[in-house]
Structure 1
């Protein structure tokens, strides 16, 4: 079958990254999240600080972009790339890093419109993990040691940012079941249950292709 890729979109606090890491252990492949930033930085020549400031953000200040553009680029030197707003450069660099990664190895990629970047990949499974607010608030409270109110606020803001980023750059809608092969409720299935469902789906799809 060649390289396979599992992309995981996720509501904040649903445990999507945890599911990705479980699958990584079970399948013996790497799970990429923030690591994609470092890869994109090396390939594009954009400095690390710029990537961190613009990661999964759909828009940025025009003035800030104008100032930062004067010294941010040292790798991608084509005129169209140089003329892009800074946030578009960050997206493009990650987009190319995702495609290059999928061409080299089987892996799991969390977030960053990976399903959109790999729309033409023949062995890509796109998953979205969601859960009810109570489950997510509890998860964030435990993970970050926050109050219930601060956890709920963090969830609202992060989900809004992720949806804006995905909807802005892709031709699909964040969280819409039609955008993915599987949408799983971690609040009902549990993280281990989500991991098992994904593995079972992979087996079924593999057998159907024989």
Structure 2
């Protein structure tokens, strides 16, 4: 396997677990939260400051001060959240140049032109069951609210920075329901798919 595999996922669907399993089997590096430190370093920020802008969409209020946010203005500055996204993009491209790897999230499927792109999803009940199996101790209603909030944030971020629809089958090579097949079933399916390309 000589390509980067990107994994986009619904929160609680097991995309990270699948990525780790694939990386071990394929003997390639795995990047998820590790990208935060690498991207923070790329843009010269501490991880703490980087996280303040990470996966955030610039929100402009209609005030005189924000009218300076005009790309044709002499006072135009790129919003910090855009700078963070650009730094992350550079890091993803550098990692891809080093060779095959697994990258989870971060719009990597749109950043890279020649990657194999997966989308992992599951019904809410399956995701709740999976999150409860991780012994989070969180009330199911609170967990469901968190799942919906994280998915909404991911969807908005992805669509803002890529112009593509998050989770739409045509944007990926393979979409897998982890609730139906489980992580092991998804793993076996991806491995079979990789043998065909």
Is TM > 0.5 for Structure 1 vs Structure 2?
A: yes
Do structure 1's residue 200 and structure 2's residue 192 form an aligned pair?
Answer: yes
CA–CA separation in structure 2 for the residues paired with 1:183 and 1:116: 16
Structure 1 residues 89-133: Cα deviation after superposition (integer angstroms, max 9, x where no partner): 110000110001000121000000000100x22xx1000000001
Of 121, 135, 142, the match for 2:126:
135
Contiguous gaps of at least 5 residues in structure 1: 67-81, 206-210
For the residue of structure 2 that corresponds to 1:83, the secondary structure is coil
Alignment RMSD, CA only?
Answer: 1.9
**Which residue in the other structure is 2:103 paired with?**
109
CA–CA separation in structure 1 for the residues paired with 2:167 and 2:57: 17
**Is this contact kept in 2: 1:60–1:87, CA < 8 A?**
no
**Is this contact kept in 2: 1:130–1:185, CA < 8 A?**
yes
CA–CA separation in structure 2 for the residues paired with 1:174 and 1:156: 14
More helix by share: 1
TM-score (norm 1): 0.83
Cα displacement (A) at 1:174 = 0.3
**Which residue in the other structure is 1:165 paired with?**
157
Cα displacement (A) at 1:61 = 6.9
Contiguous gaps of at least 5 residues in structure 2: 66-75
Indicate how the Cα distance of structure 1 residues 109 and 55 shifts in structure 2: closer, same or farther if over 3 A, else same.
same
TM-score (norm 2): 0.88
